Amino acid sequence: QVQLVESGGGLVQAGESLTLSCAVSGRTFDFNTYTMAWFRQAPGKDSEFVASIRGRSSSTTYADSVKGRFTISRDNAKNTMYLQMNSLDPEDTAVYYCAADVNGAIYDYWGQGTQVTVSS
């Protein structure tokens, strides 16, 4: 089993920055092979992919809406993934979830989410 816990959410003003963390526990001996991702869900909207980072290559993918503003990274020694969010906009307000693809197929483990609220 894999457990994911997000942290770092909060209330910020437009233009400010915030860094989210996702700590992974449980089965972590092969954390460096997991593809990890961030998703978000705003009130009344469907869940939206934000960014992902592959395990072995650490190659990254971003949604167009966050490209150039958000940076996803990981520290395999700490079994932790991060999302650095700059130039935040009220449209970024959502609950942010981290997810892990452990077996190379689907995102089968999810965190409980952390709220990010950006005021104008």
Is the Cα dihedral 107, 115, 4, 15 positive or negative?
Answer: positive
Q: Which of 8, 5, 9 is nearest to 93 (CA)?
A: 9
Q: 117: which residues sit within 8 A by CB, 6+ positions away?
A: 10, 11, 12, 93
pLDDT of residue 60: 98
Choose the weakest-confidence range: 1-10, 50-59, 63-72.
Answer: 50-59
Q: For residue range 64-120, list pLDDT tens digits in order.
A: 999 999 999 999 999 999 999 999 999 999 999 999 999 888 999 999 999 999 999
Tell me the pLDDT band of 58, cut-offs 50, 70 and 90. confident
Per-residue pLDDT at 57 exceeds 90: no
